[in-house]
Every structure is written in structure tokens, then in C-alpha cells.
Amino acid sequence: MPAHGASGAASPGADRASDNIPLGIACMTGATLMFAASSAVMKFEVARYPLGEVMAARSVSSLVVCAAAVLPTAGLEAFATRRPCAHVARGLSQAVSQTFTVIALWFMPLAGAIAISFSAPLFAALISLVWLKERADSARLAALAVGFLGVLVVTRPGADSLQTGALFALMNAVMYGSVTVAVRGMTRTESTTTLLMWQMAVVAACHSALLAFGCAWPSSMDAALLAASGFANGLAQYSWTKSLRLAPTAAVSPFYYLLLVWAILIGFVVWGDRPTASLLIGSGVVVCAGLALLAREARVGSIRVDRDRRSDSRAWRTAGLRLRPAPSRSR
């Protein structure tokens, strides 16, 4: 799953001259398909091989893909930063979060685990209200209440208590939301390339350390699947990051929820998992709440940009330095 805090410093609804929205949407759609395929392979392989081996194989393969895509043009400057400790902390948190995701996949259907992971933005918004003391307007509180109601519908805590897989999926969502809030300021000083490469490197190192707890020699087919899972995840991370460079967050982020569609289809074809009414209804509620929060952030971001522009314009007028268009040059 992608790192939610790596979207860059631009506001969710800010338009840029270099935007290419159709290509951004295509990159996001491709990323969701590759994320779903990678998660499906992880679910299949974690039932056959030690958890640490599966995690290490995917993370190292993902690092190779991202390095091959980024380093030829950016070089080692992709790792240039004044905040190495923050990157390491973020990578450690991502490593734990991804491990929780795979454990959840081990115990529950693919679509169910992914549906619960969609609650991460809800937890991020809730934590920002409590921790960062952000303003809690009625629209935000309503979206959070409805979203968490959807989480309850998906997890069905009263069915057989809260199942192990759902617990790990929820812990992943809580951790992801916490990390998103904690590193929100990093996007003001760090490029998306730097965020991506540091995350991949730290996660690969952490998951490789898990090999000390056991590994087994895979068959040629399983080795190919594990490598393919990592390559798909790496390409998905790169495509997700590129989509946010090509288009505003508000334009491409709704297409991230296609991940649930692919997960339902793959789960049905491979494992015969039929989506239950609670999964469809609950995940629909979670998705709608997430989109509502996204729309609110886009609206607030646009208002903030307009306010800053008006403030700058007043400052220029006060200083007597009214901006004028450059005279056109004629031959």
C-alpha cells in the first residue's frame, strides 16, 4: 500500500500548469491493479513460507524496481536529505504496517483486508483532530462518524467477536493513519522521490532482518511469484507517486478505490470468495466517507490558495509594486 503522506506539498485541489489529468488517472488505475495483484500473491505465499521470507522477498524486489526507475536520472541525490532520522522512523513504521497487512491477508479474504485498510485516512483525520488540534467542523465530524460506522459493518465485531485478521487490518489502518499525521510536515521539505527511495530502502532492510527468524528454499515457481509480487509492488508505488505528480490529488485519489474492485474480482476467481452484504455495504460507506474527507480537504486547500494570493496581491499594492504583464515583443 502506498504511503499517504508522500503526495507532495501541493494542496489537494491545487491545479498546476503541468497537470496531465488523464495520464495521472491512468497511472493511479494501473497502480491499484498492481497493488491488488501483489497483495494476492502475498496472501498465497504467506500460507506456504515463513512471514519474514515473504516480506523480505517483496520489499527487496520493490526496492530494485524503484531504484531502476529513479536512480538513472536522479542518482544518489534521491537520498539527499537533512532529516534522515525522520525517514528512518517513517520507514520502520511502514515496515510494521505492511507486516500487519500481510498477516491480515493470511487470516481473512483479500477484499476484506483491503476494505479495512481504506479506513486509514479516517484514523489520520481523527488523530489530527486530537493531536494537532485541527479544527473540527460539522462536515468533517459527520464524515468520520459515518466512515467508522462503515468499518464496524465490515469487521462485524459482534459476529464471532473481532477476528484475528480484522484486528491486524485495523492495527495497520491505525498505524498508517498515525504515520500520515506524524510525517505530514515532511512533504514541505522532501521531494516525492526522496520519500519513495528512503521508504523502500528502510523497509527492505527491516524486512530482510526478519529472515533471521526462519526461511525455506522456495521452488522455482514460488521464487518467481515472490519476485513478481515485489516488482508489481515497486511499479505500483512508482506509478502511484507519478500520478500525484501529474495531476491534483483530488482528481486522481478517488480512482485509488478501484483497488477494492480488483481485490473482489481476484478473491472470487482465485479463492472463490463471494463478497458478503456487510463487505459491500460497509466498504461502500468507508469509501464515501473517504471521498467526502478528500473533497473537504480539496475545498479547504483551494480556499487557502486563493486567500494567500489575495494576501500577496495586497502586499504588492501596499508596497507600491503593482505587478504588470510583461510587454509583448514584436518583430
What does the pLDDT read at residue 223? 95
Domain ranges of the chain: 20-318
What does the pLDDT read at residue 251? 82
What does the pLDDT read at residue 179? 74
Beta carbons within 8 Å of 85's beta carbon, 6+ residues apart: none
What does the pLDDT read at residue 331? 41
SS3 letters for the chain? Answer: CCCHHHCCCCCCCCCCCCCCHHHHHHHHHHHHHHHHHHHHHHHHHHCCCCHHHHHHHHHHHHHHHHHHHHHHHHHHHHHCCCCHHHHHHHHHHHHHHHHHHHHHHHHCCHHHHHHHHCCHHHHHHHHHHHHCCCCCCHHHHHHHHHHHHHHHHHHCCCCCCCCHHHHHHHHHHHHHHHHHHHCHHHHHCCCHHHHHHHHHHHHHHHHHHHHHHCCCCCCHHHHHHHHHHHHHHHHHHHHHHHHHHHCCHHHHHHHHHHHHHHHHHHHHHHHCCCCCHHHHHHHHHHHHHHHHHHHHHHHHHHHHHHHHHHHHHHHHHHCCCCCCCCCCCCC
**Residue in the structure block whose three cell numbers are 472470487:** 268
Low-confidence ranges of the chain (pLDDT < 70): 1-18, 157-162, 182-185, 301-331
- How far is residue 121's CA from residue 173's CA, in Å, rounded to a whole number? 8
What does the pLDDT read at residue 5? 40
Three cell numbers written together for 238: 512508482
What does the pLDDT read at residue 330? 46
What does the pLDDT read at residue 114? 92
Give tens-digit pLDDT for 252-304.
Answer: 888 989 999 999 999 999 999 998 898 999 999 999 988 888 887 777 766 66
What does the pLDDT read at residue 219? 95
What does the pLDDT read at residue 217? 93
What does the pLDDT read at residue 269? 95
- How far is residue 53's CA from residue 177's CA, in Å, rounded to a whole number? 26
User: Contacts for 221-227 with beta carbons within 8 Å, 24 or more apart?
Assistant: 222/45, 222/48, 222/49, 223/57, 225/41, 225/44, 225/45, 226/41, 226/45, 226/49, 226/54, 226/57, 226/58, 226/61, 227/57, 227/61
